[in-house]
Amino acid sequence: MTTSDRRPVIVLGGTGYVSGEILRLLVTHPSLRVAAVVSTSADGGSVAAAFPQLAGTEADSWSFVTLDAAIDGLKKDQIIGILAATPHGATAAMLDRVLSAAEAVGADARAVDLSADFRYPDAASFERVYGQPHGAPGRLAQFTCGVPEHVVGVLNRHAAQPGCFTTAVSLAAYPFLAMGLVEPTVFACAVTGSSGSGRTPSAGTHHPDRHSDMRAYSPLVHRHEPEMRRLLAAANGGIAPDVDFVPHSGPFVRGIHATVRMTLVDEHPADELVEAVNCFYETGPFVRATTMPPRLRDVIGTNRACLGVAARGSTLVVTSVIDNLVKGAAGGGIQWLNRLMGYSDDRGLIAPGLGWY
């Protein structure tokens, strides 16, 4: 497939870490190509200069553009993807502008939101968690939010990728709830790298403040906790389970390591539970479980999730590792866009991990 045969994608929020990962993955994607990288603050600047790791690829010819310029490039009958890596609260209005413009010219736009703006089914739920009005409440019904592995097929024209913590915890807990193997009570403790705080340094999140240190933050009040309850309800007959979540800042850059504790309804050996989980995820290429605790380096740079299962009596502990920038954001978003475009989930996402970094 030539460059002209690859379907175009507009990337919103062009200068952040997640955008950099989106661009890294799209450079080698066999069926998708970058049509525009939107950043008002960097308009006209070189994309490869902002992300030197992309130098020597087709990214050398890319420049950041305004949202208006990206909209001006929409064409009638064009099938185009949109990946939004813009900040929470700002995304909804921007996506509404692009989607409205696409509808006006007759373009077939399919969007994936990587912010929190379309993770909730109604504006009141979003406003309750994020403390601000929703920017496009009329669009909420057009989006499906979920970890791709937990949603069958395509339910809407657009999709929203859950938060990185939510992705790691949900991948661990969802199959056990869905198979009725555990009580509807989940305790999760997760450690994230500094890249999860974004590119702009701030007190307490900047890597020099985190190096050689570790601390909990927002215990039992983190905004991903209600998101976890909502998504795990789908595995629990529509009833939200009790979820208690304690996040931690870790002294590394990439990755999330989550430890999820649940209570088994009946005792089962760990190897039997591993087999059940792998059967649950057998149609997807990215999630695998073993009885060995996984390591972050097993997944860094990939769209994979590794689960480690341990059981003693009625106590079940599942450790879950993902790359927060890939499976928890850019890779999960491209996985969703692949599906919306009619491609296999793993297209362009099969590169192996880094191993050492």
Q: Which positions are annotated as active-site residues?
A: 164
User: 326: which 2 tokens?
Assistant: 């890939």
**Ordered strands of the 256-263 beta sheet:** 215-216, 242-249, 185-192, 256-263, 315-322, 305-312, 287-290
Q: Exposure of 249 by Cβ count < 10 A (0-12 exposed, 13-18 middle, 19+ buried)? A: buried
Give the three-state DSSP class for 182.
strand
Instruction: Indicate the pairing of strand 64-65 with strand 32-38.
Output: parallel
Element (H, E) at 83: strand 79-84
Beta bridge partners of 34: 9
3-state helix/strand/coil string of 286-306: CEEEECCCCCHHHCCCCCCEE
User: 207: which 2 tokens?
Assistant: 């890597």
Length of the chain: 357
